[in-house]
Amino acid sequence: MDVERTKQYYDQLTEKDLCQCAYCKTYAKEIKTALPRLTAYLNRLGVDIEKPFEVLPLDESPESMEYLGVQYVVMGTAESFREITVDQARIYTTESHPNTGIEGEHFVIEIVPDKPFRLKRSEF
Ligand SMILES: [Zn+2]
């Protein structure tokens, strides 16, 4: 993986590049506070946790939203990436994702928690 290029990729992503559905917006707003260790881990890869490629929604209530998992783009090749568990979430590379539309070498990681992420529902 290429941490520098990954950072550059996330830096140039703006709000209009990101999904604006309630699941994605809630995730972006709450995930850092909810999972600081996962935030720090992704940061070391150059990945901005607030800019997911895809979230995998599970359920919602008036108070919270739940997620089965989330996917992120990482630049470079997947060769050096090793599966790891952080904040009780398994992180591994996946081929099962929508087309990223990105030119150049990159791959997608999927993060799947033991128990679905449950995040406080926020107002926008
Ligand atoms: Zn969305």
Q: How many Å lie between the centroid of ligand 1 and the Cα of residue 113? A: 18
Whether residue 57 is predicted with pLDDT greater than 80 in this model: the reply is yes
Q: How many Å lie between the centroid of ligand 1 and the Cα of residue 108? A: 17
**Pairwise CA distance, residues 97 & 21, whole Å:** 18
- Core vs surface per residue 40-76: b (16+ CB within 10 A) or e: ebbeebbbbbbbbbbbbbeebeeeebbbebbbbbbbb
Q: How many Å lie between the centroid of ligand 1 and the Cα of residue 19? A: 4
Q: How many Å lie between the centroid of ligand 1 and the Cα of residue 22? A: 7
Is residue 78 exposed (0-12), middle (13-18) or buried (19+ Cβ within 10 Å)?
middle
Q: How many Å lie between the centroid of ligand 1 and the Cα of residue 55? A: 6
pLDDT tens profile 79-116: 889 999 999 999 999 999 999 999 999 999 999 999 99
pLDDT tens profile 20-50: 999 999 999 999 999 999 999 999 999 999 9
Which segments within the chain are labelled E, that is strand? 54-60, 64-75, 84-86, 89-94, 106-113, 117-120
Q: How many Å lie between the centroid of ligand 1 and the Cα of residue 87? A: 23
Listed in sequence order, the residues at least 6 apart from 75 whose beta carbon sits closer than 8 Å to its beta carbon are 1, 2, 5, 6, 8, 9, 46, 104, 105, 106
The pLDDT score that the predictor gives to residue 111 is 98
Q: How many Å lie between the centroid of ligand 1 and the Cα of residue 119? A: 15
The pLDDT score that the predictor gives to residue 123 is 76
